[in-house]
A and B are shown apart, each in its own frame.
Chain A
Amino acid sequence: MWQSIKPSHRNLRVWQLGLLAVIFVLWHVITKPGLIPPIVFENDQQAAFFFGEPLKVFGRIWAWFFTQADIYQHLWVTLLETVLAFGIGTALGLGLGLWLALSPLAAAIADPYIKAANSMPRVILAPIFAVWFGLGIASKVALGVTLVFFIVFFNVYQGVKEVSPVVLANARMLGASHRQLLRHVYLPSATSWVFSSLHTSVGLAFVGAVVGEYLGSSRGVGYLILQAEGAFDINTVMAGILVLTVFALGLDAIVGRLERRLMKLQPKSGETEKL
């Protein structure tokens, strides 16, 4: 009996789901008023007030997606902010990274400023962006861009610095002009480094969007959480967090798929095709 349910690589999923079920059951048992006598709190309502109740949380999610079906516009806004922040941040990081890596003097001048801007906790810029760009999606995109930009920038900078000198010399011997070197050697090399940081930069774009919404907005999943928090509606806050988590996991899966497609030309050792 034990042999068949012992954790192994075969029943990994079952154990993972089992763990999830245990967490939810535990959550339910602890927070359901009247189920067990209060140990920590003074009365049996308080646990539910602080931690929410899983059944109500799922009811909330069900209402969002099916009965009221009003979460889709918020999800759409958050997704749009994430994608825009990722796109603009990547483009800026790629451009500036290429430029600074190829002109050492400009890089030397900009160096302290880049270090300062990178070490600054950039979330603190959110209020300024709200003033500049208003409470719409622009301020969230701006915050996401500041987060994504540095990841991409440093990767591109590194990527250009580490272009194989032999490949570079070979391209020059083949007659590549400066512009062609940029287009055919530096850019592809830098892009492969951007791909390698795809997970991190998409994740940070998402963080920028949600944090921006949470700090002040009129739409988005972060806004839902902010609203619920104002009304001490802990169940809705928990529901929002769960939705965001699943959303982030989905985003990560899409990136993973995209990455596998784009990284085809990267060598993978120890992998053979099964015939």
Chain B
Amino acid sequence: MSQRPVTESPPALQLRGVACTFVAKDDPGQRYTAVRDVALTVGAGEFVSVVGPTGCGKSTLLNVAAGLLAPSTGTVDVFGQALAGINTRAGYMFQAESLMPWRTARQNVMAGLEFRGATDAGTQADEWLRRVGLGGFGDRYPHQLSGGMRKRVSLAQTLVLDPDIILMDEPFSALDIQTRQLMENEVLDLWAQKKKAVLFITHDLDEAIAMSDRVVCLSAGPGARPIGEFAIDLARPRDVAEVRATPRFIELHQAIWSVLRDEVLKGYQQQLAA
């Protein structure tokens, strides 16, 4: 969206003219364009949130950025280089349960390091489990942990690899509000230490404003595209619970909601009609 001069160091993630059209396998005539004309830039060290009505293709966009899904048209650049295949500089925190159920929490955190052939996987995993507050839970299997704990393990699993880009797909949507705010603050703390580029997908506008440097709004699907972009100039470090009461937060919320409201209603009508 915002054109950056070429001389500046390339953005962590740059999507240009991205469109994703899905074709039904059994009926090639059935097409569904989830997103189109998407231009999105995440600078190095920038925390960007994407909000939009349900089913508008937010997760599709994240899968494109992760390299799990090739866009129908358009290009993805990662630190100035065209992306082909899996985005190896990115870590991905999924919305659904993504831990391997046959591995303990510690083994799950170690997984990525093992795949890369790291020799000190064990010590690093222990370090990260401690950092997300699960030091004593390393030998538990995922089904023996609560939903919030599993999310922490996922977080450790992603961050232990020290990715330059962190992709998050509504990571806390399944958590209760208290656990959620705790986790949001923890993520902000961890982010503040390392300043990675973050692309955060959420349907919760409060969460998006409280955490991000920039919020991008998507229109309702099909053919969702960015329809607005807001810089969040709230001071850091922030506490996600406290920042919600500040006047500036409320102003921003109203401004973004005025753009988003019509799209949310449109998306809701479409779901009712379908």
- Residues of chain A at the chain B interface (Cβ within 8 Å): 164, 166-167, 169-177, 180, 184-185, 188-189, 192, 264-267
CB distance from B98 to the nearest CB of A (A): 4
Q: Are A267 and B66 in contact, with the CB atoms below 8 A?
A: no
Alpha-carbon separation in the docked complex, A224 to B112 (Å):
57
- Residues of chain B at the chain A interface (Cβ within 8 Å): 66, 68, 86-88, 90-92, 94, 96-102, 111-112, 114-116, 141, 143, 157, 161
Q: Are A171 and B92 in contact, with the CB atoms below 8 A?
A: no
Interchain Cβ contacts under 8 Å between A and B, 9 examples: A167-B97, A169-B92, A174-B112, A174-B115, A175-B112, A176-B115, A184-B114, A188-B102, A189-B102
Alpha-carbon separation in the docked complex, A172 to B68 (Å):
9
CB distance from A181 to the nearest CB of B (A): 9
CB distance from A164 to the nearest CB of B (A): 7
Residues on B with beta carbons closer than 8 Å to the beta carbon of A172: 68, 86
With A169-B68, A175-B88: A192-B116 Cβ-Cβ less than 8 Å:
no
Residues on B with beta carbons closer than 8 Å to the beta carbon of A164: 96-98
If A170-B94, A173-B68, A175-B161 are given as contacts, then 15 extra A-B residue pairs at C-beta distance below 8 Å, sorted by A number, are A164-B97, A166-B96, A166-B98, A167-B101, A169-B94, A170-B92, A170-B98, A170-B100, A172-B68, A174-B115, A174-B157, A175-B88, A175-B116, A180-B115, A264-B141
With A169-B68, A172-B86: A184-B92 Cβ-Cβ less than 8 Å:
no
Alpha-carbon separation in the docked complex, A173 to B143 (Å):
22
Residues on B with beta carbons closer than 8 Å to the beta carbon of A175: 86, 88, 112, 115-116, 161
With A166-B96, A184-B100: A171-B111 Cβ-Cβ less than 8 Å:
yes
CB distance from B273 to the nearest CB of A (A): 28
Alpha-carbon separation in the docked complex, A164 to B86 (Å):
18
Residues on B with beta carbons closer than 8 Å to the beta carbon of A173: 66, 68, 86-87, 90-92
Alpha-carbon separation in the docked complex, A34 to B94 (Å):
79
Residues on B with beta carbons closer than 8 Å to the beta carbon of A166: 94, 96-98
Alpha-carbon separation in the docked complex, A185 to B96 (Å):
17
Alpha-carbon separation in the docked complex, A185 to B92 (Å):
17
Residue of B nearest to A181 (CB): B115
CB distance from B173 to the nearest CB of A (A): 14
Q: Given A169, A184, A264, A266, which contacts B111 in the complex, CB threshold below 8 Å?
A: A184
Residues on A with beta carbons closer than 8 Å to the beta carbon of B94: 166, 169-170
What are the 8 A-B residue pairs with the smallest beta carbon separation, nearest first? A174-B112, A267-B143, A170-B98, A188-B102, A173-B92, A175-B115, A166-B96, A176-B115
Residue of B nearest to A177 (CB): B115
With A169-B68, A175-B115: A265-B102 Cβ-Cβ less than 8 Å:
yes
Q: Are A192 and B102 in contact, with the CB atoms below 8 A?
A: yes
Residues on A with beta carbons closer than 8 Å to the beta carbon of B96: 164, 166
Alpha-carbon separation in the docked complex, A244 to B101 (Å):
38
Residues on B with beta carbons closer than 8 Å to the beta carbon of A188: 100, 102
CB distance from B70 to the nearest CB of A (A): 14
Alpha-carbon separation in the docked complex, A180 to B100 (Å):
13
Central interface residue in A170, A173, A177, A188, by most chain B CB within 10 Å? A173
Central interface residue in A174, A189, A265, by most chain B CB within 10 Å? A174
Residue of B nearest to A176 (CB): B115
Residues on A with beta carbons closer than 8 Å to the beta carbon of B68: 169, 172-173
Residue of A nearest to B163 (CB): A173
Residues on A with beta carbons closer than 8 Å to the beta carbon of B91: 173
Residues on A with beta carbons closer than 8 Å to the beta carbon of B87: 173
CB distance from B223 to the nearest CB of A (A): 24
Residue of A nearest to B86 (CB): A172
Q: Are A171 and B86 in contact, with the CB atoms below 8 A?
A: no
Residue of A nearest to B157 (CB): A174
Alpha-carbon separation in the docked complex, A175 to B117 (Å):
10
Q: Are B161 and A174 in contact, with the CB atoms below 8 A?
A: yes
With A173-B86, A174-B112: A265-B66 Cβ-Cβ less than 8 Å:
no
